[in-house]
Structure 1
């Protein structure tokens, strides 16, 4: 019964996130913001709402900080697997795609995020902010994210020329966006509680459960949106959604660290270190996918290595 409930909630996460993505796309067509900013920040933030609220529930309601690390780090590797998996079937079309320059920069910032988390685990330095103590790594993560957002806001290197007419007014779009966002928050909180019960039943560690069950389920929005975007030939938006979501996921650790008053969110354990190591490797391979875009063999090799990295990280974490 608990597994059936998990599947139902996962399906709802996909449905609600796809609808939210549609309304963000509508806003894109009614504003003058850059395409890179819309895909890499707004759409990425929307499809990362499940990771955000499931992680906050893990620390506030379940007292499981390890679940947060597994969720975020597992989701990030799985997200890159989405790109890799798609390119195994669409590498020819990808060679002629136009990508924003900011995607490569976002990946580099993502690698920097992994370094910051590593330092936060092995060289923790707490800073007092009133009644709470925060790991300095959390502050650095927020700073790096904001720096990347500033860069993406002005990236017009792959601006869309889609003139599709949107009949909804901006006000109507915003109301529907808020309603679907509230529903997504509620489903995400339930999904966290169900995952915690599955972890107990299967006697899995919190980090492993987060990486497998939460990491995959909360990445379904990115998966659905990216497949659809590639289907219509928009590789740029698909890449922006994935790499932007990954960077947004990192600041979830910062929020969780601020809200978790019982201790630090950056926990030193073998499964976390595996996810960090293979996460960095996957980021470098994704950089290779962009760098060698015209070389189909290189793209396929990097894609296979990303997929192998995710499988290996899960196996070694169990």
Structure 2
């Protein structure tokens, strides 16, 4: 029964995120916000909502290993596997604004997280600091969007404002309900098999909560919207660390598993290597995409065997 409830939970998470993204993106289009900014903010927040629901619920329930590993696992899945799959499907040019501002912020967020868990504990004050960083990042991004408005394509008319708001509310309800189901049943499965919450968080839960990012980025990549595809992934990773962990630990401090230090180091190295490659080449091609997919497969085998 717990397997069925886990799948039901993922369904509510994904459909909830889908409604939230559609409603939020429609409002953003009405406000003439650039596509890249939509990917970095509205879509990134919407597709990261499952991670938020799971990590915050897990933190409140005292499942610290699941709360932290879900964020780290999701970020690795987002950056390494999703970007790799998108590049294999359709190579894309890297948006310069993402490289100048957003990618470095994603790396900095991971470094700050590593510093915070050096003592295997994230306090409320550290959580509030992460939230402050998120607020500053959003302010800078929104100001940039206001200074560079774009004309909306009239053939791609968004939902009316009232319909968009209904979608957002329905999406949030689905996300919260799904988050509770996933956390409760993922912990039950881990206990039944004698597996650690950290392993479950890095694998099943991380992949499940990252499905919205995967679907959104692949769809955007097929349509040639590389700004939305990469922006969604980078924005989600920033949101996961600064907002989700920030809010989770502000509500309830989180104790980290020692292996989390290794996983965060892997995340920092992966993010930095992809950033350097993108700076040098200014393009993600199929070769680099394949390399990313292979690297993620190697990481998955490592965490299962360790």
User: Retained in 1: the 8 A contact 2:67–2:201?
Assistant: yes
Q: Which residue of 1 aligns with 2:14?
A: 14
User: Retained in 2: the 8 A contact 1:18–1:224?
Assistant: no
Moved more, 238-247 or 33-42: 33-42
TM-score, scaled to structure 2? 0.87
Measured against aligned partners, the alpha-carbon deviations of 1:35-57 in whole angstroms (never above 9, x if no partner) come to: 33322111111111111111121
Deviation at 1:161, TM superposition (A): 5.6
TM-score, scaled to structure 1? 0.84
Q: Residue 95 of structure 2: SS of its match in structure 1?
A: coil
**How far apart in 1 are the matches of 2:142 and 2:228?**
14
Measured against aligned partners, the alpha-carbon deviations of 1:229-278 in whole angstroms (never above 9, x if no partner) come to: 11111111111111111111112112121212xxx4142412x1121011
**How far apart in 2 are the matches of 1:70 and 1:154?**
33
Deviation at 1:31, TM superposition (A): 0.6
**How far apart in 1 are the matches of 2:283 and 2:194?**
46
Question: Deviating runs (4+, > 6 A) in structure 1?
Answer: none
Residue 268 (structure 2) pairs with residue 280 (structure 1): yes
Match of 2:236 among 241, 245, 253: 245
Q: Which residue of 2 aligns with 1:129?
A: none
User: Retained in 1: the 8 A contact 2:20–2:170?
Assistant: no
Report how many aligned residue pairs link the two structures: 301
Deviation at 1:112, TM superposition (A): 1.4
The alpha-carbon distance between structure 1 residues 115 and 295, as it changes in their structure 2 partners (threshold 3 A), is closer
Superposed CA RMSD in Å reads 2.7
Deviation at 1:88, TM superposition (A): 2.3
**Structure 2 portions without partners, runs of 5+:** none
The alpha-carbon distance between structure 1 residues 298 and 167, as it changes in their structure 2 partners (threshold 3 A), is closer
Q: Quick check: which one's helix share is greater?
A: 2
Q: Which residue of 2 aligns with 1:222?
A: 213
Q: Which residue of 2 aligns with 1:52?
A: 52
**How far apart in 2 are the matches of 1:140 and 1:86?**
33
Match of 1:145 among 131, 134, 139: 134
**How far apart in 2 are the matches of 1:103 and 1:14?**
29
**Structure 1 portions without partners, runs of 5+:** 127-133
Higher relative contact order (CA 8 A, sep 6+): 2
Deviation at 1:164, TM superposition (A): 3.0
**How far apart in 2 are the matches of 1:78 and 1:207?**
15
